Chain A
Amino acid sequence: MVTLMHFQIVSAALFSVGLYGVLARRSAVLILMSIELMLNAVNLNLIAIASFTDPERFAGFIIAIFVITVGAAEVGLALAIVLRMFRNRATVNIDEIELMKW
């Protein structure tokens, strides 16, 4: 019998994987992909909870829709910045973008 806990564990796993990606990957685009993974994990969690517990208000579903929306907007914007960065520096390697250091 699949319970809420199982879905949540999957969500946690996805989130952690995404976290690793954010912290460890070298290309800016890859980082963005990992962020998308994290957002997805969160969504899964929300929807699972809503599905199991919330018969009246559907708050989880609605919020999940909004998460998707904002996630999409954020990706568009972030990729615009990445493009700009690439135009200026010919690289998306974040190791090489360290002007604002001590």
Chain B
Amino acid sequence: MSWFLFILLSVMAIGGGLGVVATRNVVHACLFLLFSLLAVAGLYVVLLTEFLALVQIFIYGGAIIIVLLFAIMLTRSKEYPSISDNSQWPLALVSGLALFSLLTATFVVNSSSFEEMHRVALTDLGTTLFTDWALPFEIASLVLLLALIGSIVIAKVERRR
């Protein structure tokens, strides 16, 4: 059962990814991204970490995709709706394949037999997050604040006085 789910979700994720990088239509690309992200969320469920799957759906699916769509809307140029790839795509292909083979080789070689998935209790996760990892947590919130302020500053429209 988990095999079947795993294969299905993997195919969806990778297919969605391929769609993002192959399609000519930007909006389609965005939707493909959403698709892929949701598939990844499903994979998280297979991995018995439902909480993170939820987080994934909320943040990525809820926030980031929306923002991306807004950006696409606001930056419409005459090249819409079809955007081709740029001039170095063969090189990109080669490097992508190279990296994939490298990583796969690593993972295959290093695979000891990890077979057991164990479930994580949410309360334990929360406790660790706010005690052992309190400092990175605070810093992460700072990062978000900075990003907020920064994006406002950068994207602000200057009024002529």
Q: Interface of A with B (CB < 8 Å)?
A: 1-10, 12-30, 32-34, 36-37, 40, 43-44, 47-48, 51-53, 55, 57-58, 61-62, 64-66, 68-77, 79-84, 86-87, 90-95
Q: How far is the CB of A14 from chain B (nearest CB, A)?
A: 5
CA gap between A36 and B20 in the complex, in Å:
11
CA gap between A44 and B40 in the complex, in Å:
7
Give the contacting residue for B77; candidates A13, A57, A73, A91; CB below 8 A.
A91
Chain B residue contacts of A23, Cβ below 8 A: 88-89, 91-92, 95-96
The chain A residue with its CB closest to the CB of B90 is A24
Residue-wise interface mask of B (1-39) relative to A, using a CB-CB cutoff of 8 A (1 in contact, 0 not): 011001000100110011011000010011001001100
Chain B residue contacts of A53, Cβ below 8 A: 114
Total interface residues on B, CB under 8 Å, equals: 85
Chain B residue contacts of A57, Cβ below 8 A: 128, 132
Chain A residue contacts of B43, Cβ below 8 A: 7, 10, 44
Chain B residue contacts of A94, Cβ below 8 A: 86
Q: Is the interface of B mostly helix, strand, loop or mixed?
A: helix
Cross-chain contact A72 with B77 (CB below 8 angstroms):
no
Which 3 residue pairs across A and B have the least CB separation, nearest first? A23-B92, A73-B147, A80-B151
Q: Given A24-B93, A33-B68, is A47 in contact with B20 using a C-beta cutoff of 8 Å?
A: no
Chain B residue contacts of A68, Cβ below 8 A: 55-56, 59-60
The chain B residue with its CB closest to the CB of A17 is B17
A-B Cβ contacts below 8 A, count: 242
Q: How far is the CB of B134 from chain A (nearest CB, A)?
A: 11
CA gap between A64 and B148 in the complex, in Å:
21
Cross-chain contact A47 with B116 (CB below 8 angstroms):
no
CA gap between A60 and B92 in the complex, in Å:
30
Cross-chain contact B83 with A58 (CB below 8 angstroms):
no
Q: Given A9-B104, A58-B124, A61-B120, is A24 in contact with B92 using a C-beta cutoff of 8 Å?
A: yes
- Within 46-65 of B, Cβ neighbours of A (below 8 Å) are at 46-49, 52, 55-56, 59-60, 63-64
Residue-wise interface mask of B (113-133) relative to A, using a CB-CB cutoff of 8 A (1 in contact, 0 not): 111111010001100110011
Give the contacting residue for A29; candidates B72, B113, B129; CB below 8 A.
B72
Give the contacting residue for A51; candidates B47, B63, B85; CB below 8 A.
B47
